[in-house]
Amino acid sequence: MGQRVHLVAAALLLAILITANWFSGDLRDLIGYCPRIGYLLQTVNGVGRGPSVAGDNHDNRPLAANLSACHASLTDADRPTYCCPPRRDADQIVVEFQLPEIAPSPLRVRRPAHLLDSDYVAKYEKAVAIMKSLPSDHPHSFLRQANNHCLYCTGSYNQVNSTSLFKIHRSWFFFPWHRAFLYFHERILGSSSATTHLLYRIGFYTRGAFNSTQREPGHLPPHVADLNYQREETGRKPEEQMAVNLAFMYHQMVSGARKAELFMGCKLTAGAEGGCDGPGTIEDAPHNTVHEWVGNGLNPEREYMGAFYTAARDPAFYAHHANIDRLWTVWRKIMDSAAPDFTESSWLDTSFTFYDENLRFVRIKVRDCLDPAKLGYAYENIDLPWLNARPKPAVPPEVARNILKKKDEWSTLLASGNPDGQTTYFNNEEQALGATVRARVQRPRRHGAQAEKGEEEEILVVYGIHVLGDVYAKFDVFVNLVADEKKAGPLAREFAGTFVNTPRGARRVGEDRLSAAWRKSTLKLGISELLEDLKADRDENVWVSLVPRAGSGANIMVDGIRIELLR
């Protein structure tokens, strides 16, 4: 039986490898390069989602990579790729990371790339050039650095004590993993040039070592990045685009992200049972959308930036992620939070491994990544123009309410027979988003005194999202929208958020993609402030519109919508 699985998988893999001619030039060697087929097949044996390694008991223990199980993995478009290091990680001596007792001083200040003079940037470029000149098996080489992202993002490692893959995107590990990765990357850059700190930048940067051959030509500067990019050119003028970007950032950073889970992502825990798919606001966009915007649309997976397995080969990756990391620090400041974002050991004690500047193989835990000052760096403060970009209703709320009252036919999708009355099922069936779907959704009753209101966030939950074929897909969510949904966007207060599916091939080589039912996603959007601004915070129901974008709706299935209170 096991033998047969091996043979079938081997045949499949060979067929894939032989027909591996999707690429031209320097992309060709990235794909289908799989020198350890025998090794890969060991993992194909455990394709099932059930436990097959002793101890896979689905509790809330922290995650770690099984370093002796690095194997070929799949790109977002399901092509086998291989980014394991040439020498097995498992044979390296692992050093436990130690935060310094006293915070290092002075702090390395990460500065905004677009505001710096050429001399300053030249130092950074030189350090990157040194990395690029190292042989590709050196842990400090640019390629090996980039492959760190490939390892943890395409599922090259199994989780320890489990056959589940260890992937750090689309969950609460997104921010801490990237912080740890950048931390070691910056220390390596700095070791070759004493004054080099990471630079940050929204969008990307084209000069010298920042440049990349794999970018979307139509999006090079001076085009203003579309932070809510949906694979369609909007034709907006620069100042219009900037206004949309600011309103969008207000939503993603402030009104839509008032709870840690909304900002950070869902609580992924160990094993198949612990799987979840629910990125936080910033990971969804601008993080995903800028990856998409920068990557070259002529490449099959928008490589480099548009695909997990190649993203970090573009030097813009580090500037983009330094900016995303900065937003984490800004968000904590806005939310006035001194407490850790989460207190579960399954988060705090989850660990990752990286090579440091002294070539030690270091294991760092999430709990060590929470305070940039303790890690010895800080961000230069810049203005936050989006803080004042609170959007306004597209249609005056009183007018909208009258129109909505007349649209009784919208409520045909409302389920009956649900005792708590708080869930809108679409007639208990998955609903395809071939066109806009609207539903009237009941709000939960608040318990206890009004005084508690401040602590509870009302969240709109779109659950059971399932993208057929795991292809690129996007939809926007609006509340009480009566304006034209084709044109409405983040500038309207009715905009509640967006869902972006970047394909993630979240299965093993050989596993049937359609069987992976646990990959259904949940989108959670904070709407308390939005409801106040739409004068709907005393209403029993709201009308929710799911608006598919970029012609991707026919692939998106949704189980339902509900509103919950999150403490």
Ligand X SMILES: *[C@@H]1O[C@H](CO)[C@@H](O)[C@H](O)[C@H]1NC(C)=O
How far apart are CB 216 and ligand X at their closest, in Å? 10
Question: Whose CA is closest to 158, among 89, 207, 211, 93?
Answer: 89
Nearer to ligand X, 509 or 525 (CB): 509
61 or 287: CB nearest ligand X: 61
Residue 185 annotated in active site:
no
Residue type, 544: V
Determine the 3-state secondary structure of 81 from DSSP: strand
Catalytic residue flag (residue 178) = yes
Minimum CB–partner distance for residue 254 and ligand X (Å): 35
Tokens found for residue 65: 């990579």
E strands present in 487-526: 495-501, 521-526
CB 59 to ligand X: min, Å: 9
Q: Annotated catalytic, 149?
A: yes
Q: Kindly compute the dihedral angle of the four CA atoms of residues 105, 106, 108, 113, in this order, to the nearest 10 degrees.
A: 160
Nearer to ligand X, 295 or 393 (CB): 295
Q: What's the min distance (Å) between Cβ of 226 and ligand X?
A: 20
Q: Helices (DSSP H) in 142-295: which residue ranges?
A: 142-153, 174-192, 238-250, 260-264, 281-282, 289-294
- C-beta closer to ligand X: residue 160 or 488: 160
Catalytic option among 71, 140, 178, 219? 178
The least distance separating ligand X from the CB of residue 42, rounded to whole angstroms, comes to 6
Catalytic position from the list 140, 251, 291, 466: 291
Cα 228 from Cα 239, distance rounded (Å): 15
- Candidate list 321, 352, 478, 499, residue with the active-site label: 321
- Residue 308 bears catalytic tag: yes
DSSP string, 299-368: STT-TTTTSTTTGGGSTHHHHHHHHHHHHHHHHHHHTT--S-S---HHHHT-EEEEE-TTS-EEEEEGGG
Q: Which residue is nearest to ligand X (CB)?
A: 69
Cβ at position 347, least distance to ligand X in Å: 14
Specify whether the CB–CB gap between 154 and 72 falls below 8 A. no
C-alpha angle 546-523-305 in degrees, rounded to nearest 5: 95
Q: Least distance (Å) from ligand X to the CB of residue 202?
A: 18
Q: In whole angstroms, what is the distance from residue 425 CA to residue 130 CA?
A: 56
d(CA 293, CA 179): 22
Q: Dihedrals φ, ψ of 135, to 5°?
A: -60, 150
Nearer to ligand X, 53 or 557 (CB): 53
- Please state the closest distance from residue 169 (CB atom) to ligand X, in A: 21
Please tell me which residue in 71, 97, 142, 149 is annotated as part of the active site. 149
Binding residues (CB under 6 A) for ligand X: these are: 42, 53, 55, 61, 64, 66, 68-69, 158, 160-161, 206-207, 211, 213
CB 380 within 8 A of CB 112: yes
Q: Which is nearer to ligand X, 206 or 381 (CB)?
A: 206
Q: Please identify, using beta-carbon distances, which residue of 36 and 445 lies nearer to ligand X.
A: 36
Residue among 209 and 536 whose Cβ is closer to ligand X: 209
Helix (H), strand (E) at residue 546: strand 541-549
Reduced to 3 states, what is the DSSP secondary structure of residue 96?
strand
Question: Which position among 97, 142, 166, 308 bears the catalytic label?
Answer: 308
Q: By three-state DSSP, how is residue 498 classified? A: strand
Instruction: Establish whether 287 is a catalytic residue.
Output: yes
Decide whether 61 or 219 has the Cβ nearer to ligand X. Answer: 61
Complete DSSP assignment for 418-482: -TTS-EEESTTS-EE-SS-EEEEEEPPPPPS-GGGGGG-EEEEEEEEEEEGGG--EEEEEEES--
For the CB of residue 71, give the shortest distance to ligand X in the complex, in Å.
8
CB neighbours (10 Å) of residue 363?
16
Burial class (CB in 10 A: 0-12, 13-18, 19+), 16: middle
User: Of 169, 185, 219, 320, which is the active-site residue?
Assistant: 169
Distant-in-sequence, close-in-space partners of 179: CB < 8 Å, separation ≥ 6:
325, 328, 369, 372, 375
DSSP-based three-state secondary structure for 276: coil
Catalytic site positions: 149, 169, 178, 287, 291, 308, 321
